[in-house]
Amino acid sequence: MTNYLDSNKQRFLDELLDLLRIPSVSADSNFKGDVRRAAEFVRDKLTAAGLDKASLHETPGHPIVYAEKIVDANRPTVLVYGHYDVQPADPYELWDSPPFEPTIRNERIYARGACDDKGQFYMHIKAIEAMVATDGLPCNVKVMIEGEEEVGSDHLGTFVKENRDMLKADVILISDTSIISNETPSLEMGLRGLSYVEVQITGANRDLHSGVYGGGVANPINVLCEMIASLHDEDGRVTIPGFYDNVDELSDAERAELAKAPFDLDEYKRDLGITDVMGETGYSTNERTSIRPTLDVNGIWGGYTGEGAKTVLPSKASAKISMRLVPHQTPDEITEMFTAHFKSIAPAGVTVTVMPHHGGMPYVTPVDSVEFEAASKAFEEAWGKKPIPTRGEAASQLPLCLNRNSALNPFLWVSVWIAMPCTHPMKVMAFLTTIKA
Amino acid sequence: MTNYLDSNKQRFLDELLDLLRIPSVSADSNFKGDVRRAAEFVRDKLTAAGLDKASLHETPGHPIVYAEKIVDANRPTVLVYGHYDVQPADPYELWDSPPFEPTIRNERIYARGACDDKGQFYMHIKAIEAMVATDGLPCNVKVMIEGEEEVGSDHLGTFVKENRDMLKADVILISDTSIISNETPSLEMGLRGLSYVEVQITGANRDLHSGVYGGGVANPINVLCEMIASLHDEDGRVTIPGFYDNVDELSDAERAELAKAPFDLDEYKRDLGITDVMGETGYSTNERTSIRPTLDVNGIWGGYTGEGAKTVLPSKASAKISMRLVPHQTPDEITEMFTAHFKSIAPAGVTVTVMPHHGGMPYVTPVDSVEFEAASKAFEEAWGKKPIPTRGEAASQLPLCLNRNSALNPFLWVSVWIAMPCTHPMKVMAFLTTIKA
């Protein structure tokens, strides 16, 4: 098999460069034809790799490419996820080489999408091709490459729901994340979930003049600020009753394992341009952003926001508030708790509405699961050292999509997901080989 | 003099109707020519009334009309303020009669600007005309009628500053307010001042993904909400140190006098569509909105405010905050206190900027002043009962304009202002006659 990789190396590279030349910018409708061309390119390479049913599935946006190879219905099935669309490349003049004319410097490919995500998912296709062409696949493989990851994966959720049987798998392999560094390979084992709501506070039935009414009636902005402020206590903990009830408290051993990831607080602060970090008392910055649930206001608006000064006492004020969830919190339960609590703390004289937006389940791959061990072993083979498990970084939209309309629970059978940055076909092969067990 | 009024009544009315036919909508540039035509109309009527120097003073916006009659340099001088511009009249189809074709029904004139403010200031001109034509003016009179009141009086401040000698007066007579009712005539004796600031909280040097950073770094919106919430205590009092130090605490007798104004709390709540009022403990709604200083957020914005959900952890959040001031608070001192306090309560990890907008001095006309007594007597002559003194309602922009750039203090010589709703020339005459003493 190594022979196959060696003897086809140049062709693999040339094909990837061809794919990188296609400006598949999903955000810009001027590139709509190019986005489709990239999808067709991927479909053809999936066919060439020996996969069955390679085809474009239309959506109201860009098509999703799907292919599969079922070798034995009794063996495990791996669903590989990736995306063939890229971010816009403007401003072009800041590129050292043209974004859609890939060039190789110091053994690195420079092009829009080389890392995110064409390079990563193409590696999977070539690993599958090599295995099919030589010893055969050790397990069943399904490949789903979408074209809207960079614009929010708006149609992935529906596609997944409508094709639950086709996509059924034992493990999802996502290669759309990063590693800590080449010296410190790492494996994403968890992603926080999400509960997202929009709130509105209404006071008087019209905007008032603050000179006439100021001090006499509730100001919805002041009230909203007070209600939001009360959602955290002095230790930075969320005050919603029951919020932490189902939170998975990690053991000291687990926390020690996570703490192995190198982290330079000074560098972190320097990068963000802040003088200090902030968060829940008793947890490190890495823990605060990975194993702990949080509440953040993502947007707020009300009253006069234009130039200069207007002394309006507004009728309404609104905010978008999201909570990051950890196992075993669920978006539905947390959204319900938030709504009940937020309404309960409203003072007399205002009305409160809470509108839930989407939610997403938190995901964790147990480090002692066969899937995590398979991924870990694959990394070790490629890097010569075990990867460090990390949690909390946002990977692709996939886990969130899987959980939209969670009442339907169409994916309870997806027991595990692994986010695996893939820079060499060997890793993929090692993973697939191990997973078959 | 009563004869003069009686014999010219129809002409006075016809002239007012002519003025009301001019669509002097200051907000809409399509009416620019009409606004100027109204100014010229007013100028000509001031000349016809026997006033000197009647002329248009150009501004970058609409012109200001000024005229004066100095009868004796040793007598007091009254500056009459009004505005000849009107609010837009759309939607036209909701008018029972066309807004710029005045019609009289049940002895009331229906037209845009009939009350606000053409009817009111025109009464002053006709009172002056009658006095000049018969017994002569008992005191000096200056008349300043602007054309931008409905769009914020942007150029009045500069005009007043540049013409301080010309405008010098002992008392300003403003007829641009309302009375409680025809059964309960009232006189505005006070207006709260204003300190207006814009604040900005900056966290990280860029917008962050809340999934990656949420819980680990300061969220400027959350921080802003907490800081704003802390500006009031549980009794609804402003927590800025020193904020109440110079506040004029009224005596029980003074509070009892103000409490004479009829007030129906149920009707107030019904009108505003609220279930309850809110404000500083220990004060009535009327007191909260008149004799007590307050702090209101007039606008707030930050993060994602569009449709749907975005999990941004924003770099910045902003708010416009204004404080209503009472005697003897000053905008400069309060702005300074606010700035120092607001910066002092910022947590580590964020930076705070405070940008002062404009300010305005609080005004109160002492009820035992000769000017208030003159106005009170004038009302009594017209209505057969004493007016109730009221405070806190917004009158015209004039007092605020007078105080812009208060460091210059060009109007310290304006010792008193009276806001006097004027529905009959007799009241004006009685006022002017009394003020001469």
In whole angstroms, what is the distance from residue B437 CA to residue B155 CA? Answer: 34
Alpha-carbon torsion angle A226, A232, A238, A242, nearest 10 = -60
Mode of pairing for the β-strands spanning A193-202 and A351-360:
antiparallel
Segment A390-402, tens digit of pLDDT: 876 544 445 544 4
* Amino acid (one-letter) located at A148: E
CB B320 within 8 A of CB B297: yes
| pLDDT for res A420 | 57
Query: Residue B407: pLDDT above 60?
Result: no
| Tens digit of each residue's pLDDT (9 = 90 or more) over A215-267 | 999 999 999 999 999 999 999 999 999 999 999 888 898 888 888 888 899 99
| Beta bridge partner(s), residue A142 | A68, A79
3-class secondary structure, A91: coil
Name the least confident of A144-158, B23-37, B282-296, B337-351.
A144-158
Verify whether the Cβ–Cβ distance B394 to A209 is below 8 Å: yes
Rounded to an integer, the average pLDDT of B40-62 is 97
The residue with tokens 């390979």 is: A185
A355 touching B, CB under 8 A? Answer: no
Name the closest residue on chain A to residue B211, using Cα atoms.
A394
Compute CA distances A164 → A159, A396, A409, whole Å: 8, 19, 11
Name which of A224, A297, A390 to mutate to probe chain B: the one with the most chain B Cβ atoms within 10 A of its Cβ. Answer: A297
Å from A379 to nearest chain B CA? 23
Residue B417 has pLDDT above 80, yes or no: no
Residue A431 pLDDT more than 70?
A: no
Predicted local confidence at residue A423, as pLDDT: 52
The span from the first CA to the last CA of chain A, in angstroms, equals 20
Mean pLDDT of A358-385: 80
Query: Which band of pLDDT confidence, cut at 50, 70 and 90, is reported for residue B394?
Result: very low
Structure confidence at residue B411 as a pLDDT band (50, 70, 90):
very low
**Mean pLDDT of all residues in A335-364:** 91
* pLDDT of res. A120: 85
Helix, strand, coil distribution of chain A in percent, nearest 5: 35, 25, 40
The predicted structure's pLDDT at residue B205: 94
B12 vs A345: which has the higher pLDDT:
A345
B167 and chain A in contact, CB less than 8 A:
no
Minimum Cα–Cα distance from B308: chain A residue? A357
Asked if A222 reaches chain B (Cβ–Cβ under 8 Å), the answer is yes
Average pLDDT over residues B162-166: 87
Question: What's the ipTM?
Answer: 0.77
Task: Using alpha carbons, list the distances in angstroms from residue A279 to A284, A296, A352, B181, B224.
Answer: 9, 11, 28, 56, 16
For residues B222-257, b (16+ Cβ closer than 10 Å) or e, as one string? bbbbbbbbebbeeebbbebeebeeebeebeeeeeee
Q: Which residue has the higher pLDDT, A163 or B381?
A: A163
Report pLDDT digits (tens) over A72-91: 988 888 888 889 999 888 88
Residue in A161, A129, A125, A156 with CA at minimum distance from that of residue A143:
A125
More confident site: B395 or B168: B168
pLDDT at B390: 80
Phi, then psi, of A197 in degrees rounded to 5: -130, 155
**Both tokens assigned to A403:** 């959980």
Stretch B91-106: mean pLDDT = 88
* Residue in chain A nearest B283 by alpha carbon: A216
Q: Is the confidence at residue A100, as pLDDT, over 90?
A: yes
Please give the Cα distance from A346 to B214 (Å, whole number).
Answer: 25
Mean of pLDDT values over A351-374: 83
pLDDT (average), residues B76-81? 87
* Cβ–Cβ under 8 Å, residues A137 and A128: yes
Residue A277 has, within 13 A of its CA and on its CB side, a CA count of 22
Q: What is the pLDDT of residues A30-40, one digit of tens each?
A: 999 999 999 99
Nearest CA in chain A to B224: A225
For tokens 């390079």, the residue is A119
Q: Is A235 exposed, middle or buried (0-12, 13-18, 19+ CB in 10 A)?
A: exposed
Peptide bond into A117 cis (omega under 30): yes
| Residue closest to B149 by CA, chosen among B39, B26, B30 | B26
Q: Does residue B96 carry a pLDDT above 90?
A: no
**Percentage of chain A lying above the pLDDT 70 cut:** 89
The H-assigned helical ranges of B214-325 are: 220-229, 252-258, 265-272, 285-288
Q: What is the tens place of the pLDDT at every residue in A114-171?
A: 888 898 889 889 989 989 999 899 899 999 999 998 877 788 888 888 888 898 888 8
**pLDDT attached to residue A434:** 64
What does the DSSP 8-state code read for residue B249? Answer: P
Q: Which of A219, A236, A280 sits opposite B297 (nearest CB)?
A: A219
Tell me the mean pLDDT in the region B397-414. Answer: 37
The answer, yes or no, to whether residue B139 has pLDDT greater than 50, is: yes
Residue B3 class from Cβ within 10 Å (0-12 exposed, 13-18 middle, 19+ buried)? exposed
Q: What residues of chain A, 334 to 353, have a C-beta less than 8 Å from chain B?
A: 347-350
Which band of pLDDT confidence, cut at 50, 70 and 90, is reported for residue A328?
confident
Could you report the per-residue pLDDT of B187-212, keeping only the tens digit for each? 887 778 889 999 999 999 999 888 78
Please check whether residue B284 is in contact with residue A202, taking contact to mean a CB–CB distance below 8 angstroms: no
Residue B419: predicted pLDDT: 58
**The pLDDT of residue B408:** 27
Mean pLDDT over the full length of chain A: 86
| pLDDT above 90 as % of chain A | 48
Taking a C-beta distance cutoff of 8 angstroms, is the pair A421, A375 a contact? no
Q: How far apart are CA B3 and CA B262, in angstroms?
A: 36
Cα of A44 vs its chain's centroid, Å:
27
Q: Is residue B183's pLDDT more than 60?
A: yes
Query: Averaged over A211-217, what is the pLDDT?
Result: 89
Helix axes B425-435, B120-133, angle to 10 degrees: 60
Average pLDDT, chain B: 86
| Residue bearing tokens 């404000």 | B279
Average of pLDDT values for B139-156?
A: 88
Q: Which residues of B touch A320 (CB under 8 A)?
A: 303-305, 309-310
Q: Return the pLDDT at B413.
A: 30
Q: Is A273 on the interface with B (CB under 8 A)?
A: yes
Per the CB < 8 Å rule, is A225 touching B297? yes
Q: How far apart are CA A68 and CA A136, in angstroms?
A: 14
Residue A426 clears pLDDT 70, i.e. is over it: no
Q: How would you class A59 by CB atoms within 10 Å of its CB: exposed for 0-12, middle for 13-18, buried for 19 or more?
A: middle
Q: How much is the pLDDT for B428?
A: 65
Shortest distance, CA A356 to any CA of chain B (angstroms): 10
Cβ–Cβ under 8 Å, residues B313 and A298: yes
Q: How far apart are CA A131 and CA A1, in angstroms?
A: 7
What mean pLDDT do residues A264-293 have?
Answer: 94
More confident residue, B15 or B185: B15
Q: Is the confidence at residue B60, as pLDDT, over 70?
A: yes
A221/B300 CB distance under 8 A: yes
**Which residues lie across from B64 on neighbouring strands?**
B57
Does A279 score more than 90 pLDDT?
Answer: yes
Quote the crossing angle between the two packed helices B120-133 and B9-21, to the nearest 10°: 140
Q: What is the pLDDT of residue A347?
A: 95
Side chain identity at A297, as an amino acid letter? V
A20 pLDDT higher than 60: yes
Which residues have a Cβ under 8 Å from the Cβ of A323 and sit 6 or more positions away?
A194, A195, A196, A238, A293, A294, A295, A296, A334, A338
Residue A315 near residue A206, CB atoms below 8 Å: yes
Mean local confidence (pLDDT), B64-71: 97
Its pTM stands at 0.78
